[in-house]
Amino acid sequence: MDTADLGLPVDVPSTALFTDQYELTMLQAALAGGTAERRSVFEVFTRRLPDGRRYGVVAGTGRVLDAVENFRFDAGVLGFLRANKIVDEPTLEWLAGYRFGGDIWGYPEGEVYFPGSPVLRVEGSFAECVLLETVILSILNHDSAIAAAASRMAAAAGDRPLIEMGARRTHELAAVAASRAAYIGGFATTSDLAAGFRYGIPTVGTSAHAFTLLHDRERDAFRAQVDSLGRGTTLLVDTYDVAEAVRAAVEVAGPELGAVRIDSGDLLLVAHRVRQQLDELGATETKIVVTSDLDEYAIASLAAAPVDAYGVGTQLVTGSGHPTSSMVYKLVARAGSADPKAPLEPVAKKSSGGKVSVGGRKWAARRLDEYGVAEAEVIGTGAVPPELAERRLLVELVKGGQVIARESLDVVRDRHAAARASLPLSATQLSRGEPVLPTEYV
């Protein structure tokens, strides 16, 4: 079930204050100076991928659409701005009627991106577009970082399912967003019930060490869990002695035991020993789930182990060392006057230190080689070459202020799997390297 449009309690009534103060002070100055209504184009992009990453993953687009719809300055928000003298009365009057009425184009959620890719393009008056900068970047930078980490972990895991279990390692609302991004990147389930409630992501979970420690004997804990949850449950076997726990688990649940979970120790060695013991006890169909501070490198190191599923927490919700995607929101074109027919003029910041931007309203396309494998990210501001016309990446998300492109998470998840599969094989290598596709400007 897709519950993204139900307005559930994990949301906030308004996203208008998820912004930086200078967005509002720029608005005030532009209103006073007569430039606020100039038609403008802002683009979201990153100048570089995190060190060692071969591709990025677009995630958070659906949440951006929700945030834009909920960007409203109600009485409480206006009262706060007035009481703290953030902006003047004319600006407050303008904000009271704010509704984004422009257009938004972007890479479809789940698609991959590279340095310079215009992953989102926001068009409208300067006033209505500039206010959205912070909330858009907040969502895309976080969610895309988590999805990229999830994608690398999914590639390392192969056909083995991944369980997202990082809620206790991050802010409670960030945990819900992280679970959503992880599902896009290839995770199969989450332990976070709020994510299941909000986004319909399948949820899983059985017991922790505390449940075993509650009982006088480990066997008593296993019996209570099996009696309550059935023989198909997952029993945690590393509270005391793993071999003794596995023996007790099979004796209690029988060979129909669903799975055992290992949360500590040398996972490669222990997994092999547990598999052998389970087979000897007749529990040949009992699966092995491993957890314990896993990341994509640890998952890859267990490829030869008899492991059936991985549970990942801390490293996932922190982006596996890269908690942001370093995306920016830059004005790339604007009209010379407030006349709706005034032509757009390219603009760009000139700067040293790697912060140079490319002006102009851009399109993007992905060129394929003769085998159908992606070979370049092509970005331009003029006419699209005919050979790339069918390979354009940006799609319309918002038209005249109305969201027109909401999708279910399963569609987005499938899109990412297909996008990753279309890249050269080196994209999924965990060794450090440059982006797997070059960015070409035409």
β pairing state of 439-441 and 374-380: parallel
Distance set, CA 268 to CA 34, 235, 271 (Å): 66, 19, 5
Name the DSSP letter for residue 170: S
Per-residue pLDDT of 138-165, as tens digits, reads: 999 999 999 999 999 999 999 999 999 9
Name the average pLDDT for the chain.
95
Per-residue pLDDT of 60-109, as tens digits, reads: 999 999 999 999 999 999 999 999 999 999 999 999 999 999 999 999 99
pLDDT band at 315 (very low <50, low <70, confident <90, very high): very high
Per-residue pLDDT of 5-26, as tens digits, reads: 444 444 556 899 999 999 999 9
pLDDT band at 350 (very low <50, low <70, confident <90, very high): confident
Rounded to whole angstroms, the Cα distance separating 180 from 63 reads: 10
Residue range 408-421: mean pLDDT, rounded: 98
223: pLDDT strictly greater than 60: yes
Residue range 216-233: mean pLDDT, rounded: 98
Using alpha carbons only, what angle is made at residue 144 by residues 143 and 147, rounded to the nearest 5 degrees?
Answer: 85
2: pLDDT strictly greater than 50: no
Structure tokens at 160: 């083995």
Rounded to whole angstroms, the Cα distance separating 167 from 256 reads: 30
52: pLDDT strictly greater than 90: no
Q: What pTM value is reported for the model?
A: 0.94
Q: Provide the β-strand partners of residue 190.
A: 164, 203
pLDDT the model gives residue 244: 98
pLDDT band at 357 (very low <50, low <70, confident <90, very high): confident
pLDDT the model gives residue 8: 47
